[in-house]
Amino acid sequence: MKVTSLPDVEPRERRVAIGMFDGVHLGHREVIAGADTVVTFDPHPQSVVAPGTQPRLITTLERKAELMGEAGAQELVVIPFDREFASRDAQDFVEHVVIERLRATHVSVGENFRFGHRAAGTPQMLAEDGRFEVRVVPLLEVDGEVVSSSHIRGLLAGGAVQYADQLLGAPFAIDGEVVHGDKRGRELGYPTANLVPQHGYVLPGHGVYATRVRAGDAWHAAATNVGVRPQFTTGRGELIEAYLIDFDGDLYGETVRVEFLKRLRGERRFESVEALVDQMARDVDEARAIAA
């Protein structure tokens, strides 16, 4: 997958899909289908237009590019979204982005796509242009619910990763560098790979999850805790702690991927450390059965 900033795009005709596409969920994949180029915005437009109101993102730009490549796209064009770009009107977007820069012959958007200053541009405006073919994709519904990034964020925040994964079409994943923790897990017999959550991105609700962890080229079943470790007073904030089952090695400083498969239980304080360790053993057994 080639990732290009809009000012650097090479001149050629394109079949483009345009949108924010956070999460690259099943609905997004319907919009992307048949496009060779996907156009997105970075940072999230709301962070520029109304700072502080932007949602937590589901996917990093790198993960977004990876998922779009898996969906069949060949190029991701990133529009650097700033105040100058936000001030452009909808017709300017069509003339200078869609026509001049992208040379679009086909444009695919979701029915709720809006563009230009004050979001005045609509799919109907694109369809009426006449210089390129337009495909407007209806919102996708699953189980009577519209598949949307905001709905998926809510599922993840509530710990419903299994259902969120179904709507995403791929496991929800977090990439991060393994950092040093308090060594508490090692003392309990369950050494963990610890990741600090990235600011501005969705984190699954606090609890213990069956996960898969990619370290290097290998995948490992894992039991992963997300939260603040209420059993101990650490002074630390939220942490992702993954116990890689049947793994023996040093991952400090390495970048790993954690894929969330199913929530096993909520995070809670136990009557004793021994009771916690007993529960951790059950968590590991359950995670092994799910993630193996």
The domain that holds 251 is classified in CATH as 2.40.30.30
- Surface-to-core class of residue 284, CB atoms within 10 Å of its CB (0-12 exposed, 13-18 middle, 19+ buried): buried
Within a domain: 116? yes
Q: Domain holding 65: CATH number?
A: 3.40.50.620
Q: Tell me: the pLDDT tens digits for 108-163?
A: 999 999 999 999 999 999 999 999 999 999 999 999 999 999 999 999 999 999 99
Is residue 161 in some structural domain?
A: no
Residues 6+ apart with CB under 8 A from 89: 116, 117, 120
Kindly state whether residues 26 and 134 are assigned to the same domain. yes
The pTM for the full model equals 0.93
Among 111, 146, 181, where does a domain finish? 146
pLDDT at position 232 is 55
User: Looking at the domain assignment, is residue 165 inside a domain?
Assistant: no
Among 146, 179, 199, the domain-final residue is 146
Residue 154 lies in a domain: no
Q: Quick one: 12 and 141 in the same domain?
A: yes
Cβ neighbours around 45 below 10 Å, total: 19
Instruction: Let me know whether 122 and 217 are in one domain.
Output: no
Asked whether residue 15 falls in the same domain as residue 130, the answer is yes
Alpha-carbon distances of 63 from 90, 98, 171, 196, 250, rounded to whole Å = 29, 24, 12, 18, 25
Determine, yes or no, domain membership for 262.
yes
Same domain, yes or no, for 183 and 224? yes
pLDDT at 278 (0 to 100): 94
Same domain, 59 and 108: yes
Which structural domain range is residue 279 located in? 171-291
Instruction: Look at residue 183 in the predicted model and tell me its pLDDT.
Output: 61
Q: Please indicate, yes or no, whether residues 137 and 187 belong to a single structural domain of this protein.
A: no
Q: Find the length of the chain.
A: 292
Element housing 5 (H / E): strand 2-5
Pair 125, 26 in one domain = yes
Residue 255 lies in a domain: yes
Please give the Cα distance from 174 to 156 (Å, whole number): 12
What is the number of structural domains in the chain?
Answer: 2
Judge whether 163 lies within some domain.
Answer: no
Q: Does 133 lie in the same domain as 178?
A: no
230 assigned to some structural domain: yes
Pairing of strands 14-18, 37-42: parallel
- Segment (H or E) for 69: helix 61-70
| Per-residue pLDDT in tens (0 to 9) along the chain, 292 residues | 999 999 999 999 999 999 999 999 999 999 999 999 999 999 999 999 999 999 999 999 999 999 999 999 999 999 999 999 999 999 999 999 999 999 999 999 999 999 999 999 999 999 999 999 999 999 999 999 999 999 999 999 999 999 999 999 999 999 999 998 766 656 677 999 999 999 999 999 999 999 999 998 999 999 999 998 765 555 558 999 999 999 998 999 999 999 999 999 998 888 888 999 999 999 999 999 999 8
Give ∠ CA 163-169-174 in degrees, rounded to 5. Answer: 80
Q: What is the DSSP letter of 7?
A: G
* Tokens standing for residue 4: 């290009």
The dihedral sign for the CA sequence 144, 148, 154, 159: positive
133 and 18 assigned to the same domain = yes
Quick one: 211 and 245 in the same domain?
Answer: yes
Helix (H, G, I), strand (E, B) or coil at 222: strand
129 & 262 share domain: no
